[in-house]
Each structure stands twice: as structure tokens, then as C-alpha cells.
Amino acid sequence: MPDVIIPASGCGGAIVLLSSTAKIDHSTFINCNSTGGGDGGGGGGGGGAVYAFLSDVSLIDSIGNDNRALSGGSGGFIAATSGATVTVFNSSFARNQAFLHGGAVSLVSSTLTATGKQSRFRVQDNIALTGSGGAFYLDTSSLSVTSGSVAQNSAPRGGGGAIFWRGTSPEPLATAVFAPFTIPDAVDPNGNTALFGNTRASEMVRIGFADAASVNTISATPQISGGDSILPSSPVVALLDYYNQTVRSDTRVVTVSSVNGTILTGSTVLNSGVGVRAFSIGVVKFPGTTSELIFSALGFPEIRIPIVMANCPPSQFADVILNRCNRCVSGFVYNSSLSSCRPCDAGSASMGSSTNCTKCTTGSISAIGANECTPCPFGTWAVDNQRSCGRCNSGQGVTADGTGCQKCDAGAVSTNGVCAPCELGKFSSGAEATPTVCSLCGKCNISRLCVGVACRMSAVLINGC
């Protein structure tokens, strides 16, 4: 087919080969359109200019420009399927479009070998509109390109600006043609771009964690008074390709489960369609125990994260019924040996957030399980290690520090535990064993002394007289 320019339309665009052999030499295919649908998955359709089914095709010194595989088709210039073999020499494919995969070439269970003198094999400015493989799409196929240029191709909604593969890896690819792989989603020096994997990408091969730190053990703090433990960081699970790139076009479901009686709440099944699944998970598990989160996607190995449920804080205890931490009510504190709350002893008290019972201060008391201490009434003092209030005997009063009783001083008497000064004209010498009654003052002598006390001097009352 020498020196032919073929503008055409229909299934296969210009040429359809079914179990045939074709040698295409010095030919140019321009503006060919394949209107038959096909996704490059083994069905019919595809191949904007050439469609080969179980056939041998040779392209020599030929050009395929501005061809289109639309209506759901793949392979903007050529689609080869079901054991087809394509050999290319000194040819170029440019500005071709595929609705699905392979802006220039789609291979399904087929082989393409390309060579050229002085890099005359060129694949440039092709686009896979909605699928993957801006230049090449391979499904269980092989590709051998030893020299040439693959540049400025794109897959804006899929992976692999230069090449996308599934099933069988074409690696190693010639680094003289395809930029060597360095890091995931690196910028392609040849200008190829894609939603993920600007140079190369593959189908999803495993699930992993978008953040490497997520692989570490998660420490979860149990919640208090109902509710579950929300993990401190939401695990972000990524759908990864052969190159550890996130397959942002994959929509498969990822689920999370657990073991050992662990109850999970929140978002345990996610399908976001952007290649990552960010879970917001609650964990109900007995404090101080361990478990695992198990992430899985159908057909792929599961991944696991250990979970360590923290012990309850000192002011709380692990509720064996509800699998959570509870605070002790006021008047009680946690007993670690019994794994439960115990009441404060009489003479001490505790608020709910306290870790210890606090002894009542001087002059105050409490009963067993009290949440506060109560001051003793006036004229009484705390006895029996702050457990009850006692009243002083007649002739005694409470000490200034409230710690006991003492005999009333001279000039004062007591009948109810409170020492009171004698009224005017009466006195108490302080010598009585139990000063309960004030005595009348006698007449003062020349020394102005009454019996045991001083006399009235002018209008001043001294010591009760």
C-alpha cells in the first residue's frame, strides 16, 4: 500500500484485518474514524485507522495522524487484539484520539515491536480522552520500542501519559524512549501527562496506605460515659499500581473490618472513585487490649493495622459490660486491684475527677462515700479521725485550732462547750475544776483586790469585777 492517503470512516476506520496479514508501506492515514465501539478489552470496534484481529501487520515508513477511535473505541490509530502482531519501522503516529484507551495504540493480547533509523519512530500529541494510555494501552500484551520518541501524549482522566498496562508488565522499557521511573507521578521530561503516572502506569495491583505513617500501630484512647473511640488519625487507604502510584481512576470498593470482638462504627465501606479511601472509624473495644483493622478490596491481598486500646486514665475505670472507661462518681475513687470504684473512708471525700480521697480539714467531718467535708457546728470539734463532731464537757471550750477541748480561762465559764466571759460584777478565778458558774465579786480591800480578781477601777472592768 505505497504512497496512499486514506481518509475513511467506519469500523476500523480504514483497514480491518481478521486473521490476515498486511504489509503497509509508505502510507499515510489521515482523519480516519472508527465509529464502532470497543474498549480494547477483546471486543469489536476501535482502531481509528487500523483494526487487527489475530493478524500480522507491518507498518513501514508510514504516517498515522489525526485519526480517531470514537463512540467508545480504543486505539486512536491502531487497535490490535486476540494474538495480533504489529511491526513498525520508521513510522510516526501523531494527534490521534481514542475515546477510551490508547490515544495512538491499543494492544489486547497482542504484540508491537517498533524500530527506526535515527529515532524516526515518533509517537506524539496523542490523547486517550476518558481512559488510560495517552500513547500506548497494553492489556496482557508486549511492547518493544528500542529507539524513537514518545512525547506530549496525555490521558487526562486515566493513567500513563506515555504507556498504561494491565496483566503483563512490559518492563523494562527502553529509557532512551520512555523516561526512567524515579518517583511516583514524577514530571515526565518528554511532556507526557496523565491523571496519575505521567510517564507510565498500570492497573491497580494492591491496596496500601497513602501515608506511610498509617502503617504504624494506632493507639486509640477509649471514650468516657458512652460512645466509642474515634481513631486519632483516619487511615487513608490508597489503590496502588505497579509503581506505587495512586490509581485515581479506580472506583472499586474498599472495606474495613476487625477481629477479637472489636466493634467498628462510622464509615467502614467506602467507594470514592478517586483512588483513595479516607475512613472515619470508631472502635469499641475493652481498654488496655489490642486488635487489628483489616482493609480489603475484592481480589487483592488485605492489609492490617494493629490497634492498641489505651488503659483508662487514673480517675476512670474500665467498664467490662460497656467496653469503655467510666469515671467514679463523687465520693468514690478507682481501685486498680479490684478494677472498680471504692468509696472514700469516713473522714475523707472525693469529687468525681479526683484520683484520691482527700482527708477532711481540721474541724470538718464526712461519712463513708462523701463528696465533700462538712464543718462541725459551733462549739463542737471533729473527733474519731474526722468522722463525727464532739461537744466539750461543762467548763471546757473548743481549742482555737479546733482540734480538742480545754478548760475555760479565768473570767470565763462554759456549760455547752463554748467558753463565755463572766458578766459585769461576776468573776471566775480559773481555779475551779469545771468553771461553769461565775461568782459575784466581794468588796475590794485597800489594795483594790477582790478575792482572786482585780476590783473595778473607775469605769474600767478588770477581770470581771
| pLDDT in 10s for each residue of the chain, 465 residues | 444 444 444 456 889 999 999 999 999 999 999 876 554 453 445 899 999 999 999 999 999 999 999 888 999 999 999 999 999 999 999 999 999 999 999 999 999 999 877 667 999 999 999 999 999 999 999 999 988 999 999 999 999 999 999 999 999 998 889 998 888 889 999 999 999 999 999 999 998 876 654 455 666 666 544 444 556 566 778 889 999 998 988 878 888 888 877 778 777 776 656 777 777 777 777 777 888 888 888 888 898 888 887 777 766 777 777 677 777 888 888 776 666 778 899 889 987 666 788 888 888 889 998 888 998 888 788 877 778 888 888 888 888 777 788 888 877 888 777 888 887 767 777 777 778 888 777 655 444 444 444 444 333 344 444
Residue 234's domain spans which residues? Answer: 207-309
Does residue 213 sit in the same domain as residue 198? no
The one-letter amino acid code at 436 reads T
Does residue 12 sit in the same domain as residue 85? yes
The two beta strands, 33-34 and 68-69, are parallel
Does residue 106 sit in the same domain as residue 215? no
Does residue 18 sit in the same domain as residue 124? yes
Q: Is residue 303 part of a domain?
A: yes
pLDDT at 415: 78
Q: Domain end: 309, 340, 365, which one?
A: 309
Does residue 127 sit in the same domain as residue 243? no
Q: Is residue 143 part of a domain?
A: yes
Q: Is residue 424 part of a domain?
A: no
Q: What is the Cα gyration radius of the chain? A: 47
Does residue 41 sit in the same domain as residue 105? yes
pLDDT at 216: 56
The two beta strands, 380-383 and 388-391, are antiparallel
Does residue 176 sit in the same domain as residue 271? no
- Say if CB 238 and CB 207 are below 8 A apart: yes
pLDDT at 222: 60
φ, ψ at 209 (rounded to 5°): -110, 130
pLDDT at 68: 95
pLDDT at 36: 63
Q: Is residue 443 part of a domain?
A: no
pLDDT at 12: 67
Q: Is residue 16 part of a domain?
A: yes
Q: Is residue 261 part of a domain?
A: yes
The two beta strands, 236-241 and 56-60, are unpaired
Quickly count: other Cβ atoms within 10 Å of residue 317's Cβ. Answer: 22
- Say if CB 407 and CB 428 are below 8 A apart: no
pLDDT at 128: 97
Q: Is residue 451 part of a domain?
A: no
Q: How far apart are CA 453 and CA 66, in angstroms?
A: 130
Three cell numbers written together for 50? 487500523
pLDDT at 43: 40
Quickly count: other Cβ atoms within 10 Å of residue 457's Cβ. Answer: 11
Total number of domains in the chain: 3
The two beta strands, 348-349 and 358-359, are antiparallel
Does residue 351 sit in the same domain as residue 269? no
- Closest Cα partner for 323 from 370, 374, 366, 282? 282
Does residue 124 sit in the same domain as residue 227? no
- Say if CB 412 and CB 422 are below 8 A apart: yes
Q: Is residue 435 part of a domain?
A: no
Does residue 193 sit in the same domain as residue 223? no
**pTM score above 0.75:** no
Q: Domain end: 202, 221, 243, which one?
A: 202
Does residue 239 sit in the same domain as residue 157? no
